Structure 1
Amino acid sequence: MSELTEAAVLLLQKGEVTKIIGYEEGSHKPRPLFCESVVDAQRLIYDSRCVHNLAVYLTKPELLGTSSVAIIATLPTLRSIAQLAVENQLNADKLIVLTMPREDEVHRFADFDEINTYLAGVDFRIGQKEQEVIDRLEGMSREERWQFWQQELSHCFKCYACRAACPLCYCTRCIVEVNCPQWIQPWSSPLSNMEWQINRAMHLAGRCTGCGACGDACPIGIPIHLLTHKMMEDIGREFAQISGRPAMQGNVLSTFRVDDKEEFIQ
C-alpha cells in the first residue's frame, strides 16, 4: 500500500472526512477522483502528470455537501487554496489539505497559515514556452499586440470552459449570464469575445495563481492563460505583489488607497 493510499484509508476509517479529492489514472492521463471508500483509495495516484487544479471543486457545495473533505494538492492547487482562504471561500474546519513533497511522504497541513509558510519557500515560475510568448508580445507595438489577441480570440465560441476550470471563478452568477442589463453579448463575435476575456483577466487581477487551467481547458488551444500570467508580472512590478502568493492586503482592483500610483492614466 502506498503512503498516499494509507493516509487516505486512515482518514476515511477514522471518519475525519467523507470524501477525498485526488487523482486516478484515466484513459490517456490522470483525472480527478472523488474517493469515498477504502476501495476507492486504492486508485489514488500522485505524480508529475497530475496537473488538474482540484481547488476548483472546493467552492461547490452542491458537489461536496456539508461534510468534511480532504484534498490532495499540487503546488498550483495549494496556491489556489491559499487565495480562496484569503477570500473567505473555505471553511478550515471542514477541509484537510494534503500534499506530497516527496514520492514517499504525505504531508498534512495544520491550517492555512502553514500553507502560506510553505508557499513562501517556493518561488513561482512560469513555463519556459509561455515566457517566450510573453516576451515576444512585450516586443510588439500596442497595435501588433491588439491584432495578435484579436486573431486568437476570433476563434472563441464562448463555451466558457476557461471559467469552469478556474478555481477563482466562483461567482454564483457570472457577468456573461446577466441580461438585465446585457453587459456582454452571449454569442461569439470579435467584440464580445474581447470583452469577455478582458473582463475575465481584470476579475483575476491580483488573484490569479498561475495554474494555467484556463488555457489547458480551451478546446481550441487559445493561450488565454497568458493574459493573466502577464497581468501577474505587471501587478508584481507595480504593486510589489509576489506571484503565486495570496493577496493578503486585498486585490489590486478591489482595494483603494489615496496614495495609489496613477501612472497608468495617460
Structure 2
Amino acid sequence: MNKLAEKVKLLFAEGTVKLAIGFENGSHGARPFFCRNQEYADRLIWDDSCTNNIAVYLTKSELFDTSTTVLVANLPALRTVLQLASENQLKQEQWIILTLDAQGEVIQFGNLEEISAYMADYPVLISEEDRQLVEKIQSMTREERWQYWIREMSKCMKCYACRAACPLCYCNRCIVEVNCPQWIQAWSAPLTNMEWQINRVMHMAGRCVGCGACAKACPVGIPLHLLTQNMTEIIREKFEKQPGSMGNTLATFKVEDKEDFIH
C-alpha cells in the first residue's frame, strides 16, 4: 500500500472526512480523482504526471457538504490554497491539505501558516522555454508586440476554457456574462478577444499562481499563461510580493507600497 493511500484510508476510518480529491491513472496520464470511500483509496497516485491544479475544485460548493474534505495538493495547488484563503474563499476547518515531499513522505498541514512556511522554499518559477519566449516578446517594439498578441487572440473562439480551468476565477457571474451594460462583446473577434484577456490579466494581477492551467486548457494553443506570469514577475519586482501573500493587487492599497510607477 502506498503511503498516500494509507494516510487517506486512516482519515476515512477515523470518520474525519467523506471525500478526498487527488489523482488517479487515466487513459492519458494522471487525472483528478474524487475518492468517496476508503475502499478506493488505493487508486490514489502521486508522480510527475500529477500536474493539474486540482485546487480549482475548492470553490465549487456544489461538490461538497459541511463535512471535511481532503485535498492532495501539488505546489500550484498549495499556492492556490494560500491565495484563496487570503481572499476569504476558504473555511480552513473544512479542509485537510496533504502533499508529498521529495522522499514520498506524506505531509499533513495543520494550518495555513504551515503551508506558507513550506512554500517559502518554492517560489513561482517560469520555465526556460517560457522565459525565452517572454524575452523574445519583450524585445519587440510596442507595435510588434501588439501585432503578435492580435495574431494570437485572433485564434480565440471565446470558449472560456481558460476561465473554467483557472482556480482563481470563482465569480458567480463573470464580467463577460454581464449584458446590461455590455462590458465585453460576446462574439469572437481579435479586438473583443483582446478585451477579454486584458480584463482577465488585470483580475489576476498578483494572484496568478503560475500553474499554467489556462494555457493547457486552451484548445487553440494561445500562450495565455505568459500574460499572467509576466504580470507576476512585475508584481514581485514592484511590490516584493508572491501569490498567496496578498489579495488582488489592483484592489489593494498599502501606504508602504512603492509609487514610482506613477511618474
Normalising by the smaller structure, the TM-score range is over 0.9
Deviation at 1:90?
0.6
- Which shows bigger deviation, 36-45 or 191-200? 36-45
Corresponding residue number in structure 2 for 1:239: 239
CA distance in 2, matches of 1:216, 1:170: 18
Corresponding residue number in structure 1 for 2:117: 117
CA distance in 1, matches of 2:205, 2:216: 19
CA distance in 2, matches of 1:2, 1:112: 26
Unaligned runs of 5+ in 1: none
Length, aligned pairs only:
263
Deviation at 1:262?
5.0
CA distance in 1, matches of 2:183, 2:26: 39
Amino acid at match of 1:71: L
CA distance in 2, matches of 1:181, 1:251: 24
CA distance in 2, matches of 1:20, 1:52: 16
Deviation at 1:260?
5.3
- Which shows bigger deviation, 7-16 or 252-261? 252-261
Corresponding residue number in structure 2 for 1:14: 14
Which secondary structure does the structure 1 equivalent of 2:43 belong to? coil
Runs of 4+ in structure 1 deviating by more than 6 angstroms, as ranges, are none
Corresponding residue number in structure 2 for 1:255: 252
Amino acid at match of 1:251: N
Change (3 A) 1:160 1:41: same
CA distance in 2, matches of 1:22, 1:261: 40
CA distance in 2, matches of 1:231, 1:223: 14
CA distance in 1, matches of 2:259, 2:194: 25
Deviation at 1:256?
2.7
CA distance in 2, matches of 1:44, 1:108: 16
Amino acid at match of 1:164: A
Corresponding residue number in structure 2 for 1:216: 216
Corresponding residue number in structure 2 for 1:69: 69
Corresponding residue number in structure 1 for 2:173: 173
Change (3 A) 1:104 1:256: closer
Q: TM-score, normalised by structure 1?
A: 0.95
Corresponding residue number in structure 1 for 2:25: 25
Matched, 1:37 2:34: no
Amino acid at match of 1:246: G
Q: TM-score, normalised by structure 2?
A: 0.96
Deviation at 1:122?
2.0
CA distance in 2, matches of 1:37, 1:118: 29
CA distance in 1, matches of 2:95, 2:258: 39
Unaligned runs of 5+ in 2: none
CA distance in 2, matches of 1:92, 1:113: 11
CA distance in 2, matches of 1:263, 1:137: 24
Deviation at 1:39?
2.4
Deviation at 1:162?
0.4
Change (3 A) 1:259 1:241: closer
Which secondary structure does the structure 2 equivalent of 1:102 belong to? coil
Percent identical: 55
Say what the alpha-carbon RMSD is for the aligned residues. 1.5
Judge conservation of contact 1:206–1:247 (CA < 8 Å) in 2: no
CA distance in 1, matches of 2:11, 2:118: 22
